[in-house]
Amino acid sequence: MRSIILSMSVSLDGYFEGPGGDLGWHLIDDELHTHLNEEMRRMGAFLMGRVDYELMSGVWPTADTDPANPAPMREFAAIWRETPKIVFSRTLERTDEENAEIRREVDPEEIRALKARPGPDMTVGGALLAESFRRHDLIDEYHLYVHPVLLGRGRLLFGPEPAESPLRLVSTRTFGNGVVLLHHRRTDSASAGGAAG
């Protein structure tokens, strides 16, 4: 059974974005970006909402053509192009990438069938899509990158839960810029524990 992993950056007080969609507080240096590349390279698919997909597809397909971009950014361009994507949108008519598919809604049975196929784990991106996946009890692991900042306002990553979701801490890792990775897994997950960072 493949896992679905939510990987998100959050402030210390739980916001995934500041007022007006501000992400300027993210501390993405070469060390953290290299780590994220390693994590994303092993994913079998990116599960994304329309907004995140359009933001990402506006940057990453050609990021390695600009020599001014740092090496980890150029490296991720190839990861982005090669990884299959499923985009959940009621309005998006088409994508410009051959390995991107559109779904009109989250069908829990379809996602569970996708998880049951052989292959690498998948990552879900975007707070709204993640909320839908949580509501349908589809997320197996949480990789939260806690940035050393208190925002005080913005959009919280987690709203009210439909039910209690017990988690087990698998590992932590502290990066040189002060970001801390908290890796949790559902306690009922059949997969084994990961290595400590």
How far is residue 18's CA from residue 15's CA, in Å, rounded to a whole number?
7
How far is residue 151's CA from residue 121's CA, in Å, rounded to a whole number?
32
Mean pLDDT of 5-34: 95
pLDDT tens for 98-134 read: 899 999 999 999 999 999 999 999 999 888 899 999 9
Q: Show the DSSP H helices in 49-176 as ranges.
A: 50-57, 71-82, 108-116, 127-135
pLDDT tens for 21-55 read: 899 999 999 999 999 999 999 999 999 999 899 98
How far is residue 43's CA from residue 84's CA, in Å, rounded to a whole number?
9
Contact 70, 108 (CB under 8 A): no
Q: What is the token pair recorded at 32?
A: 């953290």
pLDDT value for 193: 39
Q: What is the token pair recorded at 150?
A: 């208190």
pTM of the predicted model as reported, rounded to 2 decimal places: 0.89
How far is residue 56's CA from residue 127's CA, in Å, rounded to a whole number?
15
Mean pLDDT of 141-150: 97
* Position 78 pLDDT exceeds 70: yes
